[in-house]
Copies of this chain bind each other. A is one copy, B any other.
Amino acid sequence: MNYRMLIQYDGTRYNGWQRQQSTDMTIQGKIESVLSKMTGKPVEIHGAGRTDAGVHALGQVANVHLDTSMPPAEILRYLNRWLPEDIGILSVEEAPPRFHSRLNAVSKRYDYRIATNPALHVFDRKFMYPFTEPLNVPAMQEAASFLTGEHDFQGFCARKMKKSTVRRLDSVTFAEEPGELCISYRGNGFLYYMVRIMTGTLIEIGTGQRTPESIPSVFETKLREQAGFTAPARGLTLVNIDYQEETSWTLNE
Contact = CB atoms under 8 A, between A and B. Distances in A.
Contact of A122 (B10, B118, B119, B120): B10
A220 interface: no
Interface stretch (A30-38, A81-89, A167-175): A81-89
Interface stretch (A124-132, A138-146, A193-201): A124-132
Given A85-B130, A130-B85, A9 B122 contact: yes
B119 A123 contact: no
Contacts of A107: none
A125 to B, nearest CB: 5
Taking residues whose C-beta sits less than 8 angstroms from the other chain, chain A's interface range is 20 to 34
A121 interface: yes
Contacts of A10: 122-123, 125
B121 A88 contact: yes
A98 to B, nearest CB: 28
Q: Quick one: copies of this chain in the complex?
A: 2
Contact of A88 (B86, B87, B90, B120): B120
B119 A89 contact: yes
Determine the main DSSP class of A at the interface with B.
mixed
A89 B56 CA distance: 27
Contacts of A9: 122
Nearest to A126: B123
A145 B142 CA distance: 58
A80 B118 contact: yes
Ranked nearest first, the 10 interchain pairs of A and B with the lowest CB-CB distance are A88-B119, A80-B119, A88-B122, A8-B122, A10-B122, A85-B125, A89-B119, A86-B122, A85-B118, A10-B123
22 contacts: A8-B119, A8-B122, A8-B123, A9-B122, A10-B123, A10-B125, A56-B123, A80-B118, A80-B119, A85-B118, A85-B122, A85-B125, A86-B122, A86-B125, A87-B122, A88-B118, A88-B120, A88-B121, A88-B122, A90-B120, A123-B124, A123-B127
